[in-house]
Structure 1
Amino acid sequence: MYFRPVAGVSALLALLSGCASLTESTQQNVLVQTVLDHREIAGVGCVLYNDAGKWFVTTPARVTLRKSSGPLRIDCQKEGAGWAYEKVDSKADGNLWGNVVLTAGVGYFIDKNTGAGYDYPATLTVVMHADAQRDGLPPPASGVTLY
């Protein structure tokens, strides 16, 4: 009688052992740098945001953000220098795909919701546009994919 509940709990823990939400953090440290005319430019104010939060940095800087399965948006501006609107897609990591096999898909949905099974690039290089390019033009559309 006592064996069944213990075996059931042990089996559940074994299935969840591959779960990225148990083995990985939902936080990620990234480096944000800005480039204008093929040169790094410092002192640019940037806002990074996704469906899990919003973070403010002055480049170049490291910031710890909350991971998500959704894209990370980056809006930067420096008075007299330039502006940028970028979008960075998150990528599923190896632990996420292990969940499909080990947990029959249950761990996949947990990791997708917490962001633990996803990563953004470790270095985010944002390409700035000169202020002169903005004159007379409407604001740029979001959605430029950053590589």
Structure 2
Amino acid sequence: MKSILALSAVLAMTGCASVIGEKMQPVLVTTVFESKEVAGFGCTLSNDAGSWFLTSPASVVVHKSTGDLAIDCKKDAYAGNASAVSKANGAVWGNILLGGGIGYIVDRSTGAGFNYPSNIVVTVRPLATPAMAASVPLEEVPLKLMSPSQSAARVN
């Protein structure tokens, strides 16, 4: 009997994600070249709910969705892209157990029942077009490398 009450209490606290969850989420984007963090890349983040822009490294608040978040970064002769997978959070599973279909449909439509990773790393590479490689030698492209102390200070 006690275990049934305890289970009921836990399930009751999970609730509907659209009621207790957020529809927006901050994500941090950093760019990396040859295993070192680099700064100053213009990045576009997009999903089926909108598009957002930042200059790496930075955070931006995105509208959550069931669709993955595409990240494209570019600076001079370098570019990179990544995809952040949207995953169901705990509140949506509690909603399925307690409320069934209606609440789940609301959570899917608003994105409140889904999350992206909070930290996204985009690996950038030189663009491989012969014309660009000839016009901009790699050693002449100014990439701002961050020292370990700068990177640690920014995270803390």
TM bucket, shorter chain: 0.7 to 0.9
Q: Which residue of 119, 122, 129 corresponds with 1:135?
A: 129
Deviation by residue 1:42-80 (Cα, 9 ceiling, x = unmatched) = 000000000001000000001001000101011110103
- TM-score, structure 1 length as denominator? 0.76
Q: Which residue of 57, 62, 66 corresponds with 2:63?
A: 66
Q: Does 1:19 align with 2:13?
A: no
* Amino acid in the other structure paired with 2:19: L
- TM-score, structure 2 length as denominator? 0.72
For residue 107 of structure 1, give the secondary structure of its aligned residue in structure 2: helix
* Conserved? CA contact 1:44–1:59, under 8 Å: yes
- Report the counterpart of residue 97 of structure 2 in structure 1: 101
For residue 49 of structure 1, give the secondary structure of its aligned residue in structure 2: strand
- Report the counterpart of residue 12 of structure 1 in structure 2: none
* Amino acid in the other structure paired with 1:30: V
Deviation at 1:102, TM superposition (A): 0.9
Number of equivalenced pairs: 118
* Amino acid in the other structure paired with 1:112: R
For residue 68 of structure 1, give the secondary structure of its aligned residue in structure 2: coil
Q: How does 1:26-65 map to 2 (within 5 A)?
A: 26-65=23-62
Deviation at 1:19, TM superposition (A): 0.8
* Conserved? CA contact 1:36–1:130, under 8 Å: no
Q: Does 1:84 align with 2:53?
A: no
For residue 106 of structure 2, give the secondary structure of its aligned residue in structure 1: helix
* Conserved? CA contact 1:32–1:124, under 8 Å: yes
Q: For structure 1, list consecutive stretches of 5 or more residues without a partner in the other structure.
A: 1-14, 137-147
For residue 45 of structure 2, give the secondary structure of its aligned residue in structure 1: strand
Structure 1 runs of 4+ with >6 Å offset: none
Q: For structure 2, list consecutive stretches of 5 or more residues without a partner in the other structure.
A: 1-11, 131-156
RMSD: 1.4
* Amino acid in the other structure paired with 1:45: G
For residue 25 of structure 1, give the secondary structure of its aligned residue in structure 2: coil
Identity of aligned pairs, percent?
45
